[in-house]
Structure 1
């Protein structure tokens, strides 16, 4: 995968792309990152990328010309038409399902805005996706882009050491993930559940399924409305509700 980011603060991405899983993914050649300062595409000597909004009002608006020209430049070098993602509080709320969809693409371009907003023609004629990472407003789109890139890159083949890890994550299965424990079995009087140290793999899988259902029902019951319960899961969920 190739990931391009358009930002007027490209230095924000240096440590992010150079650390942890994102760094390892690049070293494995699963992904290539490129951050472009779209000021470089401004058609004026002062490299201005914003202007006052027509009709008046507070704040400044990002001009279409630098962003259109930057995306065109990056797209012309691509083998396939890229997905062009606008980070925007008005966009589709981000989800694991969207991450899995984006992880199938060959080329992603992220546009990170600032100021009051974008010229509407950017939305209407340039981008393929508008995405929000939550119902709040950030200073710019950079942090949102980092969140999305991290969630997408970890899904690429070969990036994580254990290929079951992304499949079993919360939200990937449609449910929240079950609790995890590690050694010691007794930590300051707090015990690991007996089932997990029993060595009975069938019982362990049943416990994990039941606890996943319990956690989803108590914390995110809305997810159960979209999840197709098997007969076994339905019975376990009934047990959970009775125990509650």
Structure 2
């Protein structure tokens, strides 16, 4: 049984606690398993794309629309399917309360705990819009996170981006014609962040990034694969050095 505890603070600086005490797994649906993480704050619904023996994993979240929201013309399910070929397991997380930042951060932390229970200790987080701030905060709170990707992120709640390096790299993507969240949001987060970091602004792209879906797909896929593999190599080198002491 999965059992873990995660704590975050809300805007009033009060502690939020979530205890993950169990797991419900449904029948396989095409290439993923529907799972529910049973927690003290309700069930967190997920879609899990497993890889036998994987040490790396990626978690994907949407925005305030909730559900299985995905930007860039189905980016998330495409990546989940493709990255299995790179020995990277994927988990899509559905927010219980997609307008409450602290609750949504807890959902992602619960997802990280699940991946860790599967033997995955090197994680990338990908978030769109509101989800960008969520993954930044979750990365700050979890040492397992080695890279994050934000897509058309909001800037509210993103202050912890200044404290992620050098453990965690960040890729920020935004459309210059975003009418929901100005590209200045991602520019601001970039200014807060330290290396390794990268910012891409697309001409003609709106909030959903559908206009540049192919380019976004290539950039995000390459970033996740490269950064997770780099993290594995660093970890292996560090472990080897410790063993030789």
Give the TM bin, normalised by the shorter chain.
Answer: 0.3 to 0.5
Q: TM-score, normalised by structure 2?
A: 0.32
1 or 2 for the larger relative contact order (CA 8 Å, sep ≥6)?
Answer: 1
**Structure exhibiting the larger radius of gyration computed from Cα positions:** 1
Q: TM-score, normalised by structure 1?
A: 0.32
The structure that is helix-richer by fraction is 1
